[in-house]
A and B are shown apart, each in its own frame.
Chain A
Amino acid sequence: MDAQTIIARRVAQELRPGNLVNLGIGIPTLVANYVPEGLKIFFQSENGLIGTGPIPEQGMAHPLLTDAGGRPISALPGAATFDSAMSFGLIRGGHVDITVLGGLQVDAGGHLANWMIPGKMVPGMGGAMDLVAGAKRVIVAMQHAAKGKSKIVAKCNLPLTSGRPVDMVVTDMAVIAFPGGKATLMETAPGLKVAEVLAVTEAELAVPDNVPEMKL
Chain B
Amino acid sequence: MKSVSVEEAVALIPNGASIMVGGFMGIGTPERLLDELVRQKKSDISLICNDACRPGMGVGKLFDGGQVSRMIGTHIGLNPKAQQQMLGKQVDISLVPQGTFVERIRAGGCGLGGVLTPTGVGTLVEEGKQKIDVNGKTYLLETALRADFALVHTFLADYVGNLSYALTARNFNPVMAMAADTVIVTAEHIVPVGVIAPDHVVTPGPLVDYLVANG
Contact = CB atoms under 8 A, between A and B. Distances in A.
A161 interface: yes
A125 B97 contact: yes
B168 A64 contact: yes
Interface string B159-193: 00000011111111111000000000000000000
A69 interface: yes
Interface string A65-85: 110111000010000011111
A127 B27 contact: no
A129 B119 contact: yes
Interface residues of A, number: 40
Contact of B74 (A126, A134, A160): A126
Given A70-B26, A75-B167, A122-B86, A162 B122 contact: yes
Contacts of A122: 76, 83, 86-87, 95
Main secondary structure of the interface of A (DSSP, over half): loop
Given A64-B168, A81-B167, A163-B121, A124 B25 contact: no
Given A88-B102, A122-B86, A134 B167 contact: no
Interface of A: 45-49, 62-66, 68-70, 75, 81-85, 88-89, 91-92, 122-130, 133-134, 159-164
Given A83-B174, A85-B175, A88-B98, A130 B168 contact: no
Q: Which of A82, A129, A163 has the largest count of B CB atoms less than 10 A from its CB? A: A129
B99 A82 contact: no
Contacts of B173: 83
Would you list the 7 A-B pairs with minimal beta carbon distance, nearest first? A163-B122, A123-B77, A88-B99, A70-B25, A130-B99, A124-B75, A64-B169
Contacts of A164: 118, 122
B99 A65 contact: no
Given A70-B25, A123-B76, A124-B77, A160 B168 contact: no
